[in-house]
Chains A and B, each alone.
Chain A
Amino acid sequence: MQHRKIALLLSVIPGLGQMYNKQWIKGLLFLVFGVSFIAVFADLLNMGFWGLFTLGTEVPRDNSIFLLAEGIIAIIVTCFGLAFYYLNLRDAYKNGKSRDNNQPLNTLRAEYQNLISQGYPYVVSGPSLFILIFAVIFPILFSFALAFTNYDLYHSPPANLADWVGLKTFQDIFTVDIWRSTFFDVLGWTVVWTIVASTLQVSLGIFLAVLVNQKDTRFKKFFRTVLVLPWAVPGFVTILIFAGLFNDSFGAINLDILAMFGIDPIPWLTDENWTRVALILMQGWLGFPYIFIVTTGVLQSIPEDLYEAATIDGASILAKFKNITLPMILIAMAPIIITQFTFNFNNFNIIYLFNGGGPAVPGSTAGGTDILVSWIYKLTMQSSQYSLAAALTILLSVFVIAIALWQFRRTNSFKEGA
């Protein structure tokens, strides 16, 4: 039998394969590491997987939610364990293969130096990965897992246990009448909101950048500073300021501005459609400066000869804009424009801070201007419908990822980036 196969087989117990290859110290390290891994995590893994499958059997001893959390940690730990195990197997196999080919094995010192130089990227990016796993990936996995349980106010610890219910919550979203109608209402408005608000802010930003950057515009510096102001002031402050400006009883928009033109007060905060109009206008105000800045950068990089050639050919200003400026901007800024759309799709702050997603709709958990994100927030924080909120989170994430991937593939940045 070849060395590589024997070493691989012996490595089923970490370290033995290395020892067979006469790499005693390394083998010992692998063995110690493997044994201590099991010793340290045995309880956690045992308990975690049991809890993950049953979500608890006895009240009040078991707490379904803790068990679920432990279960997910157990899965993450297991992944690390498997990665280590794979390394162990591969190392034994590779060294066995070198022996088969009669090549000398590396000494421990050489291996160590190898590890240091090859391990450098792992060492420097390790902490980030660690933070990412525990601050982002673990909570997301946990949220996703909740979608397949019946965890809500009536199935929550310590008095009750939650249970796995499979896809029932997803099914309910589409079959229970009140949920279905709310879901589609909210989704519909979310899509309209995303498209209209993003288009408004992008086109406004581009338009103003073109205006300011005309050769004969004076006071460029002044206009640029003013136009960047909405970006410079913290967004939540601006939204709260606008909430006051639009206020039905004391807001300046009704009392001063509209009154000046002799228009009757508009119910900005109590009529669903007017709230929507106000939200879209505000997002235009808040969102255009970023596009304005980036467009200004792009405009300055368009070579002057293009315009000169076009002028000689007798092109009008409009033609020059349509055939030179706009295409250049759109090509250069495609990724940024896409992120505006995904940003607004999840733009919780403006919806929630302005009017709490209101005005309230009778008999529904979502207000008239709630987008998916803010509806999920309310379901979690106010009505404790955790599993429903989690299921919606999954639907929303799938939706966003699908669109973003599709778009990123169409632009080149995906290929370049990866």
Chain B
Amino acid sequence: MKGRVFLRRLATYLILSFMTVIIIYPLLWTIGASFNPGNSLISMSIIPENPTLDHYKELFAGKDSLQYGKWYLNSLKISFFTMIGTIVSVSFTAYAFSRFRFKGKKNALTLFLLLQMIPQFSALIALFVLAQLLGMMNSHWLLILLYIGGQIPMNTYLMKGYMDTIPMDLDESAKIDGASNTRIFLQIIMPLSTPMVAVVAMNGFTGPLGDFILSSVILRSPEYYTLPIGLYKLVNDVMGASYTTFAAGAILLSIPVAIIFLMLQKYFVSGLTAGGTKG
């Protein structure tokens, strides 16, 4: 018996260590690449012999085709406003769906479910054609509007599901005390939905950060790029030649995002497990 327990533990730690290596290695490799001198990776090592900050400097050198700082700000701006817009529209809509009976509610819910399944990129052709014809190229606000629209169906479902679990008695007693609907929403429902608001906020913020399709259709000049397009172009225009610079850019983005993510993790994990497992 003791032998088997030992074997099981050994296997557990072996597997977990193996996974740790697999996860950490690419990340370390990128960090190493970003400090390696020159553009070539052929002779690179994870711990460079002559580490250099050249690639980080190059990011901010202000070349026309490499406006890293600008891309960073563009991405932050788009993500931020998408997040705010998503939270506001989703929580109001979810409140309506969760607390009121009204004509068309069932149809609207079915529509949301359907839109959740049709990938937003179905709109790709329309956007490509219309943006070209109408000259709506490079508009960040158009993009933000599209992202918010794309976030609404799924997140409304999540949020409605969560609000449904908040007992109705709370609203009713507040109503007897004379509170208006909006007040009930802002002072009772919203504070109690914080875990799910955190999930929606995360979706709203990371959605634009992970999107390549829509943004590549609409944003065409380097100064308007977001990070996904900018870094993709950086890697692919001269594959290999500027990989070390890309690595530097990737590090400057990933480290803050990962740290924020890990710090906020506990807030949205509870919302995710509650909402997700319920559907």
Chain A residues with CB under 8 Å of chain B are 63, 65-66, 69, 118, 120-122, 124-125, 127-129, 131-132, 134-140, 142-144, 146, 157, 208, 211-212, 214, 216-217, 223, 225-238, 240-245, 247, 249-250, 252, 255, 285, 293-294, 297-298, 317, 332-333, 335-336, 342, 346, 348-349, 352-353, 356, 373, 376-377, 380-381, 386, 389-390, 393, 396-397, 400-401, 404-405, 408, 411-414, 416-418
Once A131-B149, A135-B146, A241-B26 are accepted as A-B contacts, the answer to whether A342 and B117 lie under 8 Å apart by CB is: yes
Q: Mark B100-112, 1 if CB is under 8 A from A, else 0.
A: 1010011011100
Task: Taking A240-B246, A244-B41, A373-B121 as given, write out 14 further A-B residue pairs in contact, using a Cβ cutoff of 8 Å, ordered by the A residue number.
Answer: A118-B102, A122-B102, A124-B96, A125-B92, A128-B90, A144-B122, A227-B19, A233-B254, A236-B228, A250-B44, A285-B23, A352-B212, A376-B124, A401-B118
Please measure, in the bound complex, the distance between the C-alpha atom of A414 and the C-alpha atom of B232, giving whole angstroms. 39
A-contact 0/1 string along B147-181, CB 8 Å cutoff: 01110110011001100000000000000000001
With A124-B96, A216-B9 already in contact, the answer to whether A140 and B265 are too (CB < 8 A) is: no
Q: How far is the CA of A136 from the CA of B29 in the complex (A)?
A: 40
- Across the interface, do A346 and B121 meet the contact criterion of CB distance under 8 Å? yes
B residues 19-35 near A (Cβ < 8 Å) are: 19-20, 22-24, 26-27, 29-30, 33
A298 contacts which of B92, B160, B253, B273 (Cβ < 8 Å)? B273
Within 202-259 of B, Cβ neighbours of A (below 8 Å) are at 206, 209-210, 212-213, 216-217, 228, 231-232, 235-236, 239-240, 243, 246-247, 250, 253-254, 257-258
Cβ 8 A contact of A413, one of B27, B258, B270, B278? B278
Task: Flag whether B269 is at the interface (Cβ < 8 A).
Answer: yes
How distant is B214 from chain A, measured CB to nearest CB, in Å? Answer: 10
Residue of B nearest to A204 (CB): B19
B56 within 8 A of A: no
CA distance A214 to B92 in the complex (A): 42
Residues of chain B having any CB pair with chain A under 8 Å? 8-9, 12, 15-16, 19-20, 22-24, 26-27, 29-30, 33, 40-42, 44, 89-90, 92-93, 95-97, 99-100, 102, 105-106, 108-110, 113-115, 117-130, 133, 145-146, 148-150, 152-153, 156-157, 160-161, 181, 185, 206, 209-210, 212-213, 216-217, 228, 231-232, 235-236, 239-240, 243, 246-247, 250, 253-254, 257-258, 261-262, 265, 269-270, 272-273, 276-279
Q: Which residues of chain B are near A230, meaning CB under 8 Å?
A: 23
Contact between B279 and A417, CB atoms less than 8 A apart = yes
- What's the minimum C-beta distance from A302 to chain B, rounded to whole angstroms? 12
Most A-side CB within 10 Å, residue of B108, B123, B128, B257: B123
A356 to B246 Cα, complex, angstroms: 18
CB of A334, distance to nearest CB on chain B (Å): 8
Check if B253 sits within 8 Å of A348, measured CB to CB: no
> Bound state CA distance, A348 and B211, in angstroms?
9
Task: Verify B145–A131 contact, CB threshold 8 A.
Answer: yes
Residues of A within 8 A of B110 (CB): 418
> Are the CB atoms of A349 and B210 closer together than 8 Å?
yes
Q: Tell me the complex Cα distance, A124–B159, Å.
A: 15
B258 touches A120 (CB 8 A): no
Bound-state Cα–Cα, A396 to B182, Å: 41
Establish whether residues A140 and B118, one from each chain, have CB atoms under 8 Å apart when the complex forms: yes
| B244 to A, closest residue via Cβ | A244
Alpha-carbon gap, A317 to B19, bound state (A): 23
Do A418 and B106 have beta carbons less than 8 Å apart?
A: yes
Determine whether the beta carbon of A401 is less than 8 Å from that of B258: no
Report Cα–Cα, A134/B89, bound state, in Å. Answer: 15
- List the B residue with the shortest CB-CB distance to A403: B117
Find the A residue at minimum CB distance from B257. A234
Return the contact of A249 from the options B42, B119, B278 (Cβ within 8 A). B42
Asked if A411 and B27 make an inter-chain contact with CB atoms under 8 angstroms apart, the answer reads: no
The answer to whether A404 and B212 touch across the interface, beta carbons within 8 angstroms, is: no
Task: Say yes or no: B8 contacts A317, CB within 8 Å.
Answer: yes
Considering the complex of A and B, which 10 residue pairs feature the smallest CB-CB distances, nearest first? A413-B279, A135-B149, A139-B123, A297-B273, A121-B96, A142-B126, A232-B261, A139-B126, A121-B100, A335-B279
Which of B20, B126, B217, B243 is A143 in contact with, Cβ under 8 Å?
B126
Q: Give the contacting residue for A418; candidates B100, B113, B212; CB below 8 A.
A: B113
**Given A336-B277, A400-B119, does the pair A236, B126 have CB atoms closer than 8 Å?**
no
Query: Is B96 a contact partner of A120 (Cβ separation < 8 A)?
Result: yes
Contact: B258 with A232, CB < 8 Å? yes
Q: Are B262 and A241 touching (Cβ within 8 A)?
A: no
Q: How many Å lie between the Cα of A223 and that of B160 in the bound state?
A: 33
Determine the distance from Cα of A352 to Cα of B148 in the docked complex, in whole angstroms: 24
Whether A136 lies near B120 (C-beta < 8 A) is yes
Contact A232 B124 (CB under 8 A): no
Task: Indicate if the CB atoms of B273 and A223 lie closer than 8 Å.
Answer: no
Known: A124-B96, A250-B40, A335-B276. A348 touches B262 (CB 8 A): no
Given the interface contacts A140-B123, A373-B119, does A416 sit within 8 Å of B278 by beta carbon? yes
| Option from B102, B123, B213, B250 in Cβ contact (under 8 Å) with A377 | B213
- Which residues of chain B are near A231, meaning CB under 8 Å? 261
Residues of chain A with a CB closer than 8 A to B115's CB: 132, 136-137
Given known contacts A237-B253, A346-B119, A348-B121, is B210 in contact with A136 (CB within 8 Å)?
no
A416 to B157, CA, bound (A): 11
Q: Which residue in B129, B247, B253, B265 is a CB contact (below 8 Å) of A386?
A: B129
Contact status B27-A233, CB under 8 Å = yes
* In the complex, chain B residues whose CB is within 8 Å of the CB of A217: 12, 16
Taking the closest CB of chain A, its distance from the CB of B49, in whole angstroms, is 16
Selected A-B contacts with CB under 8 Å, 28 pairs:
A118-B102, A121-B97, A124-B185, A131-B148, A135-B145, A136-B150, A136-B152, A142-B130, A144-B122, A229-B258, A232-B258, A232-B262, A236-B212, A236-B231, A240-B246, A244-B243, A247-B239, A249-B42, A294-B277, A297-B270, A335-B279, A376-B125, A380-B125, A386-B129, A396-B122, A397-B122, A404-B117, A418-B110
